[in-house]
Amino acid sequence: MNQSSLFCADPMQSGLNLLPKDGVAHYYPEFISHLSGAKLMTHLLELPSWEEDRLLMFGKVVTTRRKVIWIGDPKCDYTYSGIKRRAQKWTAELLLVKGQLEDLTKSKFNSCLLNLYHDGLDGMGWHSDDEKELDAKSPIASLSLGATRKFAFRHKKDKTTHSLLLENGSALIMHSPTQEHWHHALLKTKKIDESRINLTFRSIIPNDQ
């Protein structure tokens, strides 16, 4: 998998701001080619470290159908929903994607959360990526592979909503202060029986700081 065949020629031409106020979210519908996206998804599905996601709710640990892997630099363990994640090592393929998203955003990322949604019944409820470990000034870059899914934003104060379809090979870049003012969600549906992998690249504050 070489760099020239993996990414579209000029993704900068397709970035559109999705939010009317209090944030900036750019969408690139063809950031990665369909063929190379399929190869990348096959590589990710073969990783041995997938595990069922666990959330701490009302003092109890709840296990979800969705599976996750936390990837990161040394000292980049991460806690969300009350559960601490140990950072797994980068693969060459993930480092390639990270580099291209860093070029696109003019930012550096030191970690990535991989989410595997088996079908439309796997989803993600309303939330913000605003944990204390995250660098609040850094963008969050999300790459979608596999099934097209409906993604939505909801303003925290006036409940304004905006939704879009995250297509195979697309990239969504959420810039500051989006997480401060907006929730987002991956909506469930019974109409989709194909799997999807989402790669969310982030910059977190290393654990020794």
> Whole-angstrom Cα distance, residue 124 to residue 134?
19
152, exposed or middle or buried, with CB in 10 Å at 0-12, 13-18, 19+?
middle
> Whole-angstrom Cα distance, residue 67 to residue 78?
16
188 is written with which tokens? 């469930």
Per-residue pLDDT averaged across 76-104, rounded? Answer: 90
Domain covering 14-69+113-195 in this structure, CATH number: 2.60.120.590
Give pTM, 2 decimals: 0.89
Q: Are 136 and 179 in contact (CB under 8 A)?
A: yes
Task: Name the residue ranges covered by the structural domains of the chain.
Answer: 14-69+113-195
pLDDT at 79 over 90: no
Hey, is 193 helix, strand or coil? coil
pLDDT at 1 over 70: no
Average pLDDT over all residues of the chain: 89
pLDDT for 11 equals 44
pLDDT at 52 over 80: yes
Q: Could you read off the pLDDT of 163-186 as tens digits, one per residue? A: 999 999 999 999 999 999 999 999
Share of the chain above pLDDT 90, in %: 71
* More confidently predicted of 82 and 171: 171
pLDDT at 77 over 80: yes
pLDDT for 15 equals 64
Per-residue pLDDT averaged across 58-74, rounded? Answer: 85
Give CA separation, 51 vs 38, 69, 88, 192, in Å: 21, 7, 12, 22
pLDDT at 130 over 60: yes
